[in-house]
Structure formats: C-alpha cells, structure tokens
C-alpha cells in the first residue's frame, strides 16, 4: 500500500490498515469475496493515491506500478471521501453509485464492467469503511 | 412427526394460486397471492422482482380487514413462467404489453375498479393505466414513479462475464435508505438475486425507454381516476424531484416525498411506508377506513 498523505482524517495508511483488518474479520466478506479478484485505484487529487487489490477475501496493499488496465477508480476530494464513508449520509449521497451521480466531489472511473462485476464486494467494503469512520 | 420437542408453526392468511389466461396473443400462467376482503388493492412489483415484495402488506390485518390485497407475478417473474418460445426472444417489456397483462389479469379475477399500487416501473405504469383506462381503475398509487425515468436501461447484466445474480441486486440495493431495517434490505436483495437473465434489463426498457409521458400529464383525468405519487427521498433512480415534476404536470395529482425511505418502500420499510399509505386509503375509501380493529385475528393462525 502506498499513500502520499497519511494526515487526512478519513483516509490514511493507518485507516487502510484498519480497513484491511476489518475485511479479514468480516464474516460476510469472507463468504462473498472468496472468488473475487479486482483492483481499486483510490485517489484524492493533489493529496494522495492508494492502490489496493482485493483477492480471496483479503485487501492487499499494492504498488501503483502493478495496477492493471482493468480496474475500478474512485477519485474524490477530501469532502468526497468524507461523503463516501459518512455513516449518516444525506439522501441521494448515501451510496457510492448515488455519489457518482450526484456529488461533484466524487467521480467513479476505470472500467464500468469491473465496477458492476465486483459491486457486491465493493459495497460491503464501503459499509466496513463507514463503520471504521465511526470507530476512528 | 416433528424434528423438535416443541413444534410451533403458524400459517399466514395469504393464499397463492395460479390463473391461466391469454394476454398480448400468448398463453400465460400467472401466479398471484391474495389476502383479505373488501375493495381491491392490486399490487404490482418492481422491475426484475416479484410479488413477494408485498408480503408485509398482504400480512397486515389493519389492511386486510378492510381491503382485498392481490399481488401477481408478471410473466417471466417469480413463479409466473415465461411464455412458450421465450428462449428465442429478447425480453423487452413494452407499455402496451404491460397495460394489457394488468387488465387481463384483473379481468380474469373479475376485479373491478381496483386501487392499483405499483412500485418503480409499476409506479410509472400506473400513470399510463390511468391515462388509457381511467374508467376501469378506481385509483392509482405510484411509488417511485414518474413521467420519465432515465438511465436504468443498461446492457451489462447480460454480459457472460458479469454475475447478474449478484450485481443486479447490489445495483438496485443502492436505491434504498441506509436506515431501513437491514433484514428488509437484504430481503429485497435476495428477491432480485432470483430474477431470470435479462429480465431486470427488459423491464427497465419499459421504465426508461418505452414510456415517456412528459407533456401528456394533462391527458390523465384524476377526477375519474385519482392519482397519488410517493417517492422515497433516498431514491436516486426516480428522484423525489422527478415525481414532483409528474405531480405538477398531472392536474389533481397528489403526493410527494417520503422521508427516510428509498426506492422499495413497501418492502424495505413497511411500517414506515404504511404511515404514508393509510391516509391515502382512508381518503379513497372512507367507508371502510374506520373499521374497528379490535376484533381482528392476529397475523397467522397458530398451528400445533
């Protein structure tokens, strides 16, 4: 895992370590993620970039250079990342797909097919992130 | 014979049956469930789902003591099989076929002047029903419906490298309010996971492509067929603004946004939805609205 900024209140190296641990401990992801293998490029433009590989129910830190062409990209400002992991979201800003449509601070990119193909696991990851937001 | 020492079971009052009928020139075997007695509430499920979405309404004695609740599975959905030859055709629901099957089903059951409750694509369909056949319909209640809903018709669910059984239900789960009970949200997901290949997509062909009532709202006579439209504030497919536009364009239409709920109100949070539904039913049917509930049987019948 590589991050250029670990000082943001929501997203940091430490935060992603907690998320990886939460994935490992999550009974649902251990079931539904067993056969999943996808890549996620998470960016806060001008601040930081994190590349993750979800594989066999684990969230694996990965160097940027290993990012394949087919991947899911989420680009958001600090405000947008706060919206993504907001445990008490406002209507129409309550979900990754909703934010992609309605928030100027969140952009979904990369492969649309990869997004829908792995949407079930991705949605669970966001839910775990929201729970972490409450804890940390 | 029982696997436990203290067997306890209860039967719901909901009864399921099949009716064979002909619609749009094809033989159809339609599954439906019903409960209660009184004026008919004819319930139409969402795209890619089935009548199980109305199980809470069907099991609510406060409703079934006053109304006969009837919910059926569209052809290709739930326990209603697709018509013969389905394997050679691309399923695309049209407004004509949708209106026809609702009318033909009602006729087969001798249902007259029902209050038609439809959600999502059916929330828009009820507007077309009211526009075309106001004389046959007692009233319509559209949930998550509008004159035009964009963006739901997409091809990815038919790709062989996409597991639509998981992706379609997660895609639609996005439309629910996060504070709706988890068990209910998961149930909505589960029902969607059981849709046939291409059926959600084919339904959204009607919802987002075939039906466009913009500029035609004035053709709906709400004096002949009252129109109510309700949409959850978390619904980002058919937004409350989309529904507000419809209400503004249809003279006499009523309704608005529902707080703290999403695209599947009767399924994702029935107790909350009921608080919006009851006043409408009482306005439509004041004669049965004040019926005393004290004498009602509890949900289900105990059976040892």
DSSP state of A8: -
Structure tokens at B53: 């979405």
Determine the residue of chain A that is closest to B263 in CA distance: A92
pTM for the whole thing?
Answer: 0.93
Closest CA to B228 of B145, B171, B164, B299: B145
CB pairs under 8 A between A and B: 49
Q: Does A31 touch chain B (CB under 8 A)?
A: no
Q: How far apart are alpha carbons A115 and B154 in whole angstroms?
A: 14
Q: Please, are residues B227 and B220 in contact by the beta-carbon 8 Å criterion?
A: yes
Shortest distance, CA B141 to any CA of chain A (angstroms): 23
Say yes or no for a CB contact (<8 Å) between A92 and B233.
Answer: yes
* Closest CB to A117 among B162, B169, B233: B162
Determine the residue of chain B that is closest to A120 in CA distance: B170
Q: Does A124 touch chain B (CB under 8 A)?
A: no
Say yes or no for a CB contact (<8 Å) between A94 and B177.
Answer: yes
Say yes or no for a CB contact (<8 Å) between B171 and A116.
Answer: yes
Element of type H or E holding A125:
helix A119-135
Q: How open is the CA angle B217-B218-B222, to the nearest 5 degrees?
A: 90
Q: How far apart are alpha carbons B226 and B115 in whole angstroms?
A: 9
Q: Please, are residues A131 and A85 in contact by the beta-carbon 8 Å criterion?
A: no
Closest CA to A44 of A86, A98, A84, A17: A84
Tens of pLDDT along chain A (136 residues) come to 443 333 334 566 668 778 989 999 999 999 999 999 999 999 999 988 889 999 999 998 788 899 999 999 999 999 999 999 999 999 999 999 999 999 999 999 999 999 999 999 999 999 999 998 766 5
Q: Residues in chain A, how many?
A: 136
Extended strands (E) in B24-138: 26-35, 40-44, 68-72, 115-119
If you search the block for the tokens 């004509």, which residue do you land on? B96
Q: Does B193 touch chain A (CB under 8 A)?
A: no
If you search the block for the tokens 């789902």, which residue do you land on? B49
Which residues in chain A are closer than 8 Å to B166, comparing Cβ atoms?
32, 119-120
Q: Please, are residues A79 and A41 in contact by the beta-carbon 8 Å criterion?
A: no
As for the ipTM of the complex, it is 0.91
Shortest distance, CA B100 to any CA of chain A (angstroms): 33
* Closest CB to A98 among B159, B170, B236: B236
Q: How far apart are alpha carbons B275 and B230 in whole angstroms?
A: 12
The domain spans of chain A are: 13-135
User: What CATH code is assigned to B16-286?
Assistant: 3.40.50.1820
Which residues in chain A are closer than 8 Å to B237, comparing Cβ atoms?
none
Residues 6+ positions from B70 with CB-CB distance below 8 Å: B32, B33, B34, B40, B41, B42, B43, B109, B111, B114
Q: Does B228 touch chain A (CB under 8 A)?
A: no
Q: What is the pLDDT of residue B97?
A: 98
Q: What is the pLDDT of residue B250?
A: 98
* Closest CB to A92 among B157, B162, B236: B236
Structure tokens at A76: 């958001």
User: What CATH code is assigned to A13-135?
Assistant: 3.30.1050.10
- pLDDT < 50 regions, chain B: 294-304
Rounded to a whole number of angstroms, the CA Rg of chain B reads 19
Mutate to test the interface with A, among B168, B189, B234 (most CBs of A within 10 A): B234
Classify residue B104 by burial, with Cβ atoms within 10 Å: 0-12, 13-18, 19+: middle
Q: What is the pLDDT of residues B187-238, one digit of tens each?
A: 999 999 999 999 999 999 999 999 999 999 999 999 999 999 999 999 999 9
Which residues in chain B are closer than 8 Å to A95, comparing Cβ atoms?
174, 178, 236
Shortest distance, CA A117 to any CA of chain B (angstroms): 5
Q: How far apart are alpha carbons A8 and A35 in whole angstroms?
A: 32
Q: Does A123 touch chain B (CB under 8 A)?
A: yes
* Closest CB to B234 among A92, A101, A117: A92
Shortest distance, CA A4 to any CA of chain B (angstroms): 31
Q: Does B171 touch chain A (CB under 8 A)?
A: yes
* Closest CB to B174 among A91, A95, A112: A95
Strand partners of residue B70? B34, B42
Which residues in chain B are closer than 8 Å to A92, comparing Cβ atoms?
233-234, 236, 239
Q: How many helices (H) and strands (E) does chain B have?
A: 11, 10
Mutate to test the interface with B, among A116, A128, A131 (most CBs of B within 10 A): A116
* Helix pair angle (A13-25, A119-135), 10° resolution: 120
Q: How far is CA B132 from the centre of its chain?
A: 19
């Amino acid at each position: 895992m590589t991050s250029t900024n670990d000082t943001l209140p929501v997203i940091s190296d430490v935060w992603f370590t907690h998320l990886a641990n939460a994935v490992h401990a999550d009974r649902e992801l251990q079931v539904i993620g067993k056969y999943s293998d996808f890549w996620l490029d998470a960016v806060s433009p001008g601040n930081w970039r994190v590349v993750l590989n979800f594989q066999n129910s684990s969230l694996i830190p990965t160097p940027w250079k290993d990012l394949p062409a087919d991947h899911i990209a989420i680009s958001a400002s600090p405000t947008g990342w706060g919206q993504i992991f907001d445990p008490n979201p406002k209507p129409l800003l309550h979900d990754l797909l909703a934010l992609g449509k309605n928030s100027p601070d969140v952009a979904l990119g990369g492969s649309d097919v990869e997004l829908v193909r792995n949407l079930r696991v991705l949605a669970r990851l966001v839910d775990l992130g929201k729970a972490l937001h409450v804890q940390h | 014979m029982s696997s436990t020492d203290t067997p306890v079971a209860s039967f719901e009052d909901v009864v399921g049956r099949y009716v064979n009928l002909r619609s749009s020139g094809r033989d159809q075997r339609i599954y439906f469930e019903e409960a209660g007695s009184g004026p008919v509430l004819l319930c139409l499920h969402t795209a890619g789902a089935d009548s199980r979405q109305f199980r809470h309404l069907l099991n609510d004695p406060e409703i079934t003591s006053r109304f006969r609740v009837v919910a059926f599975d569209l052809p290709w959905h739930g326990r209603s099989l697709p018509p013969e030859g389905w394997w050679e055709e691309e399923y695309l629901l049209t407004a004509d076929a949708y209106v026809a099957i609702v009318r033909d089903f009602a006729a087969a059951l001798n249902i007259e002047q029902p209050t038609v409750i439809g959600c999502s694509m059916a929330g828009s369909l009820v507007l077309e029903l009211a526009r075309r056949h106001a004389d046959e319909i007692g009233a319509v209640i559209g949930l998550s419906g509008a004159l035009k809903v964009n963006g739901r018709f997409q091809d990815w669910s038919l790709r062989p490298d996409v597991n639509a059984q998981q992706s379609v239900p997660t895609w639609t789960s996005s439309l629910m309010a996060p504070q709706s009970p988890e068990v209910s949200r998961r149930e909505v997901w589960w029902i969607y996971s059981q849709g046939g290949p291409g059926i959600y997509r084919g339904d959204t062909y009607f919802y987002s492509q075939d039906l466009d009532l913009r500029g035609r709202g004035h053709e709906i006579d709400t004096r002949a067929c009252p129109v109510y439209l309700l949409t959850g504030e978390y619904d980002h497919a058919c937004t409350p603004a989309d529904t507000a536009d419809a209400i503004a364009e249809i003279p006499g239409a009523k309704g608005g946004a529902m707080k703290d709920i999403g695209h599947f109100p009767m399924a994702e949070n029935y107790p909350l939805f009921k608080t919006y539904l009851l006043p409408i039913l009482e306005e439509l049917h004041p004669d049965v609205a004040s019926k005393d509930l004290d004498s009602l049987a509890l949900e289900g019948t105990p059976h040892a």
